[in-house]
A and B are shown apart, each in its own frame.
Chain A
Amino acid sequence: MKRTFPYIITLIACLGCFSIYAQSVVRVTGTVVEKEGRGTLPGVTIATGTPPKTIGNTSINGTFTINVAPEATLVFSYVGFVTQTVKLKPNQTTVNVYMESDKRSLQEVVIRGYQKRSKEITTGASTTIGEKAIQDVPVSNVEQLLQGKVAGLNIQVNTGAPGFRGSIQIRGLSSLSVTGSGSDSYLQQQSPLYIIDGVPLDADKASEFGFQTQGPGISPTSLIPPEDIQSIEILKDAQATSLYGSRGAYGVIIITTKRGNSVVPRVRYSTQAFVNSPPKLRETIGGNAERQLKIQQILKNKLSEADLNRLGYTPFISDSLNAYFNNSVDWQSVFYQTTYNQTHNIAIDGGNQTFNYKTNLGYYTEKGVIKNTGFDRYSVNMNMEYKPNNKFRFFGALFGAVGEQSKGDGVGLLQKGVARNGQASSLLPPPSFYQATSSVVSALKTANNNNSRNLRANVEGRYEFVPGLALSSNVSYDYTSDTEDSFRPAAANNQFASVYGFTGRNYTLYNRNNLSYAKNFGSHEIFINAFNEIYKKARQANVMRQEKTANDQLQGPVGYDAYFSRGGGVLDNYRDERIASFAGAFSYNFKKKYIVDLSYRLDGTSLSGMENPYSKNPSVGLRWNFSKEDWMQNLKWLDNAGLRLSWGKNISPNGNLQSIYGLYNVNGSYNNNPSIGVDYDQIPNPRLKPTTTVQYNLGFDASLFNSRFEVNFDTYFKQVENMLIDRPLANITGFNKVVSNDAAIANYGYELALTVRPFKPGKNWNFSLSANGALNRDVLTKLPLEQYGQFIKFDEDARFLQHLVYRVGRNTLSNYLRVNQGTYATDADVPVDPVTGLKYRTGGRFFEAGDPNLKDVNGDYILDGVDYEISGNSQPLFTGGLSTNITYKNWGLNVYASYTAKRTILNNALSDRLAIMRDPFALTSVVPLENLNIWTQAGDIAKYPNPYDYARYDAIQPFRKDQTLWAEEGSYFKVNSFTLSYAFNKEAIRKIGLYNLRVHFTANNLTTFSSYSGPNPENVNSLGRDNSDGYPVPRTFSIGLNMELNSGK
């Protein structure tokens, strides 16, 4: 059948031809397909004759129908692709053309408003990353692989916890919402919108509780196997994202998975075996050295005889012969480990333009470098496309994935138990068969089992009524079920086991109907597109907790005693929302030289206040490909160059049901009937608006010397308005606060991407070098009126007091800290109040030599709660990356690097490390401090105060965290990955039945260069706090294999 099908088509076609045309003309139909991307190419020029005369273009879905002489020679040309010449065979009326891209970035095909377009005629700012750039590196979350590859996309791999995400921002800060306190302060992410094969996806799903993750916390982006990704496109400006409406305000990331397209079914297998090793951990002094150091510290810094006596009463220091205390245990090695992991991926695909299919099976397993943590992923991704003719197309896809994860006794991003235990005194006996402390049991034996099961189905049909006019419809359903089961054994929990359970479910039903019309009028091309989108999203999560279950063996069911039940119920991330949107776009170009894009979108969302659920989002984009001007034609070195200018508006609904409708609780009873009343903490705000971004973008693209040099430059100004902020209310209202839209910030910056290919592409050598960088500044432009331009978010954690300050006109997230001016070298350096004659003092004690010189901001010679100043910027100013790809014959070398510069990090980890010395009587370890510039004797000009003066510690708090001593420059340059690969000669491996065989060695997170004194300037939270409770980012070495079976003849 397959073979006869073309003939039948030919026959029908010929029959039709006879009546209309003379015999010398045949009607030829076919499709033009991109060879690597396997997508169809619209707007390909088809020419014939000598000299070639254009006789047609491919349609928006890549098909064409032309009338030519039999056995004519057809020339298919398209910017960015190698021109293909096809000589028709006798009686051939169907031609499928595979066009190979000629690697010029400007001429890529991009996706705009769910429609493919040639990049040459787009007016928005975007960057595309191909599969090559993200292969070979084993990571649990594909976002990590984008780091440093796109100018303006700021990704910080700030956790090494397997299955968790780092932070991601396109063009600067998008959120003001900070939850938690101290090092656990969490900047609520507003991620870009992810579109996977046309299906929108909520990447922030697992992170709404900040560090206090409830449930698995597995991001949907962690469930996508990187091996299955064909390309990733990052849309940055408002024009590019305008048609994505809701959530498009923070940029859009479009992931396209691979499609089947090979007449011969292909079986490809790739695997990697990788080793994760923990980074350098805290140095610790062990055994007798620890004891001696503690004794010396007490002897030298005691204030009273009682302190001296206390030394005698503290057996672990004084009783060195006691076997219990006669140890030297490396506690960190109890909790940290080097792990061996693997990933496997099988892809089977095949088919042709009429019908094609793809199946991808993935398995990924990673054991965490902290024991009892890990992540496993099982995934299957299938799609098929059926296109019996040029009028009808049907596409179906099914994606299923299971993520399994263990967080140990931490909450995922934080491992407080491990961090605390890692500081235990080395003199304590190690955990053994006979004994272990409860905290060790807790960290290592807590059975924590998280599951995230994701199923996503997507069908799309398209019908072209008349050439150019097509209707398509897409329906997708995305369902995730999350569970967490945590069982803490009795030995870890005051002799009684406890149980925690979480179940959550989450779905998105999505429908898009699209009507588009494309037409060429000679030099004028128009494209009209109208569509509507409907979302229905719901989420509900429940937890339950039982303290004191019967025993370690009975892990459930556990409903035996209500007294110890700690309840549970529905979590407040419940949501049930609808979005209905209507959008239209009009695009016009004249000879691909002058391009105008107009779009308008109306978004109605149930997350906006009911008084005004609709928001209007227009956009305008202009492009001038000035290299096509006649007066530029003589510049042979200029391939193409264009200027882009765009303006647009976008929204992101940020509210939730509680902020609009209020929260209602069962509060007591009235007349023996339970009564339900509004929660008086937050007044409902029916006028809540979605966060709106208005963005201007000016861009310049050019390609010179036959694509040997490419440059993209963008500059933008983005106003983010209607950001959520809590406004306190006067108590006469009866409520505490209202969530309002009265904050706004502005981001502006510049992005530059350069690619250089120094050598002419030769047969053996290929070398390309890319660099990109982005400068982003954010400025707070508005706060609620009653705050008069400044709002301080006080850190409620008394151990930190690292306040945040929002001040209009300044970078948005500044720290509010005590200013450290060094250390008092001598007692005489401490200032004296001329009025009272008293020395500068705090907590009832005068400062002395060796104490930190903290700025007396208000000049009253007392360090108190007033002495804070605004300082620093937790958000980086510069981000970017470098990459180089070298191939020589069969060898390949890829090196990717990224950098972040000019951000303030608060090195809380160092503060913790120094503060370990605050109590020599405590059963904590001691750390070597020789390499730090600490004050030891009078006259020392030192950076860090005297850590050994334990007796005055509580009053002076020399290592208090709310001081700029810990504010360090967090710039770094990181070699993300290094891959060396070798592809075997095809002839040689054919003998063993293989078509392709490639091996590679990869090192990931190889090294970081930084002046930062902490372990890793990237492993800090999004507010720049280096948390010693965090999960370290491991270094990974892997050996991988890609092979393709010779499934052909």
Chain B
Amino acid sequence: MSITAKINRVTAFFAAIILLSSCEKVFDLPEEKDYLSPNLNYSSKILEPILGRTTISRQGLNTDNSTWPLKFEIVNARWGDGRPVTDLFQTRPVWVWTNEYTGDEKSLEEIQAKRKLEDHPLFEVRESGEFILWASSNNDLITPRAADSSNLPQNTRYFDVKVTNTGGSVVLKDFQIRPFRERPYFPSNDKNDFTGGDAPDPKFRNNTFKKDFIRPGLSGVIGKTSNKELVSNDDVKDVVVFIRPFTGGNGHNLRIKAIDKNDVAINPSKFNETRWTTMLHAFNMVKTNEYVQYDVAYPIPLTARRTNYSDGNTARVALQYSRLVFGGARNTATLSLNFAIFREGDWEIVFKFLTDDPKFEDD
């Protein structure tokens, strides 16, 4: 046997050792897979969002430490009688934030630079497993739930959610979405949640002639003739508020006005202590004898962040004036309202004196 042949044999040994040992496949070890927990589920499967507002809801999603990223898909959307549901998934442009709204923006343009329009299905589930009903939805695009407050299966939209990662997939079944019709502003106690018509007076629910009103906060507002402090509660409504659209604006106007019991506009200048410029995050204030008008960015408030103009949920308008009262003290009266407006448009907030006008004069 030649030397080379021997060397070849020796090499063959080493080769055999390395081949045998380096082939990890022979061990037949299990492959690592993403974990998809059998307990992955939503604790609440009924969604009752309000149309026209961007609503994001987690619905008690518990992923039980399943491995992210998880892919969530809405599948098999259908009515209770089996008809497919498509209206939820119409695509419409909607504002999405690209930067943080802080409340320190100096102009409308600066605010608008922080968000952009994007096309989104009206209803979708995002990568985090949260459901989003975008503000682009409205009563026309999506039929709201029945006005008689019934929940018949044939009138209810059902859908399933398919959750996938590399470890497999699971279909979570029978979610229901029962959207409420739009409530474009808050407080919306003047409207019925189901019908959109006038809400009955809470004291006389069966009396269709008495309706409920948005009530302002009143402090130290004295009636001109009664000389009593005006109140607004379930029993007595000296002052109410209307939040209503007006025509003739530029599409993103907000007006504040007050009208007396004779439906005559009160000059805003009478509310001499009002902080017109810092009360709202609004620009281009126009003050007339009838109203004060601003350019604003809708919705109000823009985000849930606490700012100088928002407590996270509502903005606040407060009309204030002061007068000297008996004894020479100066009394400041306030008419206020915490409000939100969700639908973009020209809106006015009207403080309406029903029974008596406010007393601006000194005693």
Q: Which residues of B contact A750 (CB under 8 A)?
A: 21
Task: Check: B128 CB closer than 8 A to any chain A CB.
Answer: yes
Q: A809, B30: Cβ atoms under 8 Å?
A: yes
Q: Tell me, in angstroms, the Cα distance from A255 to B97 when the chains sit together.
A: 71
Q: How far does the Cβ of B217 sit from chain A's closest Cβ, in whole Å? A: 27
Q: B24, A748: Cβ atoms under 8 Å?
A: yes
Task: Check: B302 CB closer than 8 A to any chain A CB.
Answer: yes
Q: Tell me, in angstroms, the Cα distance from A697 to B245 when the chains sit together.
A: 84
The A/B interface has a contact count, at CB < 8 Å, of 116
Task: Check: A364 CB closer than 8 A to any chain B CB.
Answer: no
A748 with B27, Cβ < 8 A, contacts A632-B6, A809-B32, A859-B126 known: yes
Q: Which of A626, A788, A834, A846 contacts B13 (CB 8 A)?
A: A626
Q: A833, B97: Cβ atoms under 8 Å?
A: yes
Task: Check: B100 CB closer than 8 A to any chain A CB.
Answer: yes
Q: A788, B96: Cβ atoms under 8 Å?
A: no
A631 with B1, Cβ < 8 A, contacts A790-B65, A858-B129 known: yes
Q: Tell me, in angstroms, the Cα distance from A858 to B69 when the chains sit together.
A: 7
Q: Tell me, in angstroms, the Cα distance from A698 to B98 when the chains sit together.
A: 61
Task: Check: A832 CB closer than 8 A to any chain B CB.
Answer: yes
Taken residue by residue from 38 to 76, chain B's Cβ proximity to chain A (1 for < 8 Å, 0 otherwise) reads as 100000000000000010101000010101111000000
Q: Tell me, in angstroms, the Cα distance from A779 to B28 when the chains sit together.
A: 11
A808 with B32, Cβ < 8 A, contacts A700-B13, A835-B56, A839-B100 known: yes
Q: Which of A626, A788, A832, A870 contacts B98 (CB 8 A)?
A: A832
Q: Tell me, in angstroms, the Cα distance from A807 to B30 when the chains sit together.
A: 10
Q: Which chain A residue has the least Cβ–Cβ distance from B96?
A: A834
Q: A835, B13: Cβ atoms under 8 Å?
A: no
Q: Which of A713, A779, A809 contacts B33 (CB 8 A)?
A: A809
Q: Which residues of B contact A715 (CB under 8 A)?
A: 17, 20-21
Taken residue by residue from 231 to 246, chain A's Cβ proximity to chain B (1 for < 8 Å, 0 otherwise) reads as 0000000000000000
Q: B29, A836: Cβ atoms under 8 Å?
A: no
Task: Check: A810 CB closer than 8 A to any chain B CB.
Answer: yes
Q: For A782, A858, A868, which residue has the most chain B Cβ atoms within 10 angstroms? A: A858
Q: Tell me, in angstroms, the Cα distance from A779 to B37 when the chains sit together.
A: 21
Q: Tell me, in angstroms, the Cα distance from A810 to B97 when the chains sit together.
A: 39
Q: Which residues of B contact A860 (CB under 8 A)?
A: 58, 128-130
Q: How far does the Cβ of A670 sit from chain B's closest Cβ, in whole Å? A: 39
Q: Tell me, in angstroms, the Cα distance from A828 to B99 when the chains sit together.
A: 8
In A604-640, which residues have CB < 8 Å from any B CB?
Answer: 626, 631-632, 634-635
Q: Tell me, in angstroms, the Cα distance from A632 to B1 when the chains sit together.
A: 10
Q: B17, A700: Cβ atoms under 8 Å?
A: yes
Task: Check: B141 CB closer than 8 A to any chain A CB.
Answer: no
Q: A807, B65: Cβ atoms under 8 Å?
A: no
In A831-853, which residues have CB < 8 Å from any B CB?
Answer: 832-839, 846
Q: How far does the Cβ of A124 sit from chain B's closest Cβ, in whole Å? A: 17
Q: Which chain B residue has the least Cβ–Cβ distance from A867?
A: B68
A837 with B100, Cβ < 8 A, contacts A809-B33, A858-B128 known: yes
Q: Tell me, in angstroms, the Cα distance from A870 to B68 when the chains sit together.
A: 10
Q: Which chain A residue has the least Cβ–Cβ distance from B101?
A: A837
Task: Check: B127 CB closer than 8 A to any chain A CB.
Answer: yes
Q: Which chain A residue has the least Cβ–Cβ distance from B167?
A: A789
Task: Check: B78 CB closer than 8 A to any chain A CB.
Answer: no
Q: A858, B24: Cβ atoms under 8 Å?
A: no
Task: Check: B305 CB closer than 8 A to any chain A CB.
Answer: yes
Question: How many of chain B's residues have a CB under 8 angstroms from any CB in A?
Answer: 48
Q: Tell me, in angstroms, the Cα distance from A830 to B99 when the chains sit together.
A: 9
Q: How far does the Cβ of A816 sit from chain B's closest Cβ, in whole Å? A: 8
Task: Check: A269 CB closer than 8 A to any chain B CB.
Answer: no
Q: A713, B126: Cβ atoms under 8 Å?
A: no
Q: Tell me, in angstroms, the Cα distance from A846 to B20 when the chains sit together.
A: 56
Q: Which residues of B contact A717 (CB under 8 A)?
A: 27
Q: B115, A837: Cβ atoms under 8 Å?
A: yes
A809 with B29, Cβ < 8 A, contacts A713-B17, A750-B21, A839-B100 known: yes
Task: Check: A530 CB closer than 8 A to any chain B CB.
Answer: no
Task: Check: A203 CB closer than 8 A to any chain B CB.
Answer: no
A810 with B68, Cβ < 8 A, contacts A835-B54, A837-B115, A859-B126 known: no
Q: Which residues of B contact A748 (CB under 8 A)?
A: 24, 27
In A780-800, which residues have CB < 8 Å from any B CB?
Answer: 781-782, 788-790, 792
Q: Which residues of A contact B221 (CB under 8 A)?
A: none
Q: B128, A832: Cβ atoms under 8 Å?
A: no
Q: Which residues of A contact B58 (CB under 8 A)?
A: 860
Q: For B13, B14, B30, B130, which residue has the most chain A Cβ atoms within 10 angstroms? A: B30
Task: Check: B246 CB closer than 8 A to any chain A CB.
Answer: no
Taken residue by residue from 804 to 839, chain A's Cβ proximity to chain B (1 for < 8 Å, 0 otherwise) reads as 000111100000100000000000101011111111
Q: A698, B21: Cβ atoms under 8 Å?
A: yes
Task: Check: A746 CB closer than 8 A to any chain B CB.
Answer: yes
Q: B35, A838: Cβ atoms under 8 Å?
A: no
Q: Which of A713, A790, A834, A839 contacts B35 (CB 8 A)?
A: A790
Q: B17, A698: Cβ atoms under 8 Å?
A: yes
Q: Tell me, in angstroms, the Cα distance from A631 to B9 when the chains sit together.
A: 10
Q: Which residues of A contact B304 (CB under 8 A)?
A: 836-838
Task: Check: A941 CB closer than 8 A to any chain B CB.
Answer: no
Task: Check: B177 CB closer than 8 A to any chain A CB.
Answer: no
Q: Tell me, in angstroms, the Cα distance from A632 to B35 when the chains sit together.
A: 54
Q: For A700, A746, A789, which residue has the most chain B Cβ atoms within 10 angstroms? A: A789
Q: How far does the Cβ of A638 sit from chain B's closest Cβ, in whole Å? A: 8
Q: Which chain A residue has the least Cβ–Cβ distance from B35?
A: A790
Task: Check: B254 CB closer than 8 A to any chain A CB.
Answer: no
Q: Tell me, in angstroms, the Cα distance from A181 to B49 when the chains sit together.
A: 43
Q: A857, B29: Cβ atoms under 8 Å?
A: no
Q: Tell me, in angstroms, the Cα distance from A860 to B98 when the chains sit together.
A: 15
Q: How far does the Cβ of B123 sit from chain A's closest Cβ, in whole Å? A: 13
In A684-708, which residues have CB < 8 Å from any B CB?
Answer: 698, 700
Q: Tell me, in angstroms, the Cα distance from A788 to B39 when the chains sit together.
A: 10
In A117-137, which residues have CB < 8 Å from any B CB?
Answer: none
Q: Tell me, in angstroms, the Cα distance from A781 to B132 when the chains sit together.
A: 40
Task: Check: B332 CB closer than 8 A to any chain A CB.
Answer: no
Task: Check: A281 CB closer than 8 A to any chain B CB.
Answer: no
Q: B32, A807: Cβ atoms under 8 Å?
A: yes
Q: Which chain B residue has the least Cβ–Cβ distance from A719?
A: B27
Task: Check: A370 CB closer than 8 A to any chain B CB.
Answer: no
Q: Which chain B residue has the least Cβ–Cβ distance from A840?
A: B100
Task: Check: A643 CB closer than 8 A to any chain B CB.
Answer: yes
Task: Check: B363 CB closer than 8 A to any chain A CB.
Answer: no
Q: Tell me, in angstroms, the Cα distance from A647 to B303 when the chains sit together.
A: 68
Q: Which residues of B contact A846 (CB under 8 A)?
A: 100, 305
In B298-351, which residues have CB < 8 Å from any A CB?
Answer: 302-305
Q: How far does the Cβ of A934 sit from chain B's closest Cβ, in whole Å? A: 25
Q: Tell me, in angstroms, the Cα distance from A788 to B170 when the chains sit together.
A: 14
Q: Tell me, in angstroms, the Cα distance from A96 to B361 when the chains sit together.
A: 132
Q: Tell me, in angstroms, the Cα distance from A859 to B29 when the chains sit together.
A: 33
Q: How far does the Cβ of B206 sit from chain A's closest Cβ, in whole Å? A: 40
Task: Check: B148 CB closer than 8 A to any chain A CB.
Answer: no
Task: Check: A464 CB closer than 8 A to any chain B CB.
Answer: no
Task: Check: A8 CB closer than 8 A to any chain B CB.
Answer: no
Task: Check: B31 CB closer than 8 A to any chain A CB.
Answer: yes
Q: Which residues of B contact A866 (CB under 8 A)?
A: 63, 68
Q: Tell me, in angstroms, the Cα distance from A698 to B9 when the chains sit together.
A: 18
Q: How far does the Cβ of A682 sit from chain B's closest Cβ, in whole Å? A: 23
In A859-888, which residues have CB < 8 Å from any B CB?
Answer: 859-860, 866, 868-870
Q: A837, B305: Cβ atoms under 8 Å?
A: yes
Q: List 14 A-B contacts (CB under 8 A).
A: A698-B21, A700-B14, A700-B17, A807-B32, A809-B32, A809-B33, A816-B65, A834-B96, A834-B97, A837-B100, A857-B69, A859-B69, A866-B63, A870-B67
| Interface contacts beyond A781-B29, A835-B56: sample of 15 additional A-B pairs, CB < 8 Å, sorted by A | A635-B6, A779-B30, A782-B30, A789-B35, A789-B167, A790-B35, A807-B32, A809-B32, A816-B65, A828-B99, A837-B303, A838-B303, A838-B304, A858-B128, A866-B63
**For the complex of A and B, 5 pairs with smallest distance between CB atoms:** A809-B32, A715-B21, A837-B303, A860-B128, A837-B97
Q: What is the interface of chain B, defined by CB distance below 8 A to chain A?
A: 1, 6, 9, 13-14, 17, 20-21, 24, 27, 29-33, 35-38, 54, 56, 58, 63, 65, 67-70, 96-101, 114-115, 118, 126-130, 132, 167, 302-305
